[in-house]
Structure 1
Amino acid sequence: MGQYFKPVNITKQEYICPWCIGGGAKLWEWAVNPGGAIFVLLLRRSSQTGGGDYGGPATQVVELTEQQDLAEIIAKGILREGQRLPLPPESVVGRWAGDEVYLVGDYDDSHHYQRADAFTNISKPLVEAWNAFVELPDHQLRYDGCGCDGRSLEP
């Protein structure tokens, strides 16, 4: 059998179900599968964005004509760096930054794993935000609502 783990936010009383996001729950499975990278979005903390960041400028293809100045085009792209990133309160991006958060096992004496069953499952909006951010097919998550929860946070 072994020990199962799930991310639990004590502060917000939320959790992520490893099976709902198409992964496994063993610590090793969290470590080697794309689902283990979800903390990148959940714990992100910045009020601004830039290239490669959530909400940052998309990759652009620039075709120059004879009349265009390359330096001017590059300068326009640089001006977009550091733009404010207003996120709606229901966004999962940075949602857990600064909170009491654990990847807790079901054998742990704290019983946070078991108590999380009464918390809100944010797996579905997390998968949606993740897949919008990480567009690589091999790194996409798959939402498989496993019926583990009675409460969920829908976008």
Structure 2
Amino acid sequence: MGQYYKLVNFDKKEFVEPWPLNCGAKLTEWSYNRAPMACALMNLVAGRWKGDRVYVVGDYTDLENTSVNWYEACEEISNEVGVDAIYSYVTANFKDISSEVDAEFHNWKRIYNHYTKQYIDLSKDPIEWVWWDEEIKEAVVSSIAPLGLLLAMGNGRGGGDYHGRNADLVGSWCNFTKYIEISNDECIPIGYVEFTPNFTEHNPLIPYTKAEEMTKSKIGELDYEKNH
């Protein structure tokens, strides 16, 4: 069976569902850098959810496997709410703010983890595909959005979960959510190390350095189609 996910803030007791944002609910259906669900997560963590315990919770999330990256955070939350079925508990008891969120793409540049002193340069994410955005009349590069995977609980338990490159990193930032910052600041703090999760379903991966070449190719394809 497919596993469905929602964005959850356990401090503000709020959640965001994918369907009102016109996204599929499975992790690999919306974990792309221009998908509204992925954009909502970035914008919330950059704004009013900054510094809170924020997770991407699947409906198969439980405490069955103690070796998963997100076990400690899941155990803390389960003890707090008194149930193992976190997804169902959130649906019944937290506020659905799906209709209120900013789900637009704002092209954030970096994600910082101030606990591990790491940063992700989002411009270096591997390329998944290139498509033509009719609204802005440009060829656009899509990559897997790393934050949703790094904060995911339950991956590997259901259909539509992420099984691509570096799947072992999924959920690995669940213990550090309070220390995550989304920023466009050009000044990287001293002592911080670049972290490249390189999430992609391509093997071998398509590096970000191919972006210009691939966008030109896409435009060429469209020009050819118009003229033939």
Q: So what's the TM-score if we normalise by structure 1?
A: 0.49
- As a proportion of its length, which structure holds more strand? 2
Which structure has more relative contact order (CA 8 Å, sep 6+)? It is: 1
Q: Larger C-alpha radius of gyration, 1 or 2? A: 1
Q: So what's the TM-score if we normalise by structure 2?
A: 0.34
- As a proportion of its length, which structure holds more helix? 2
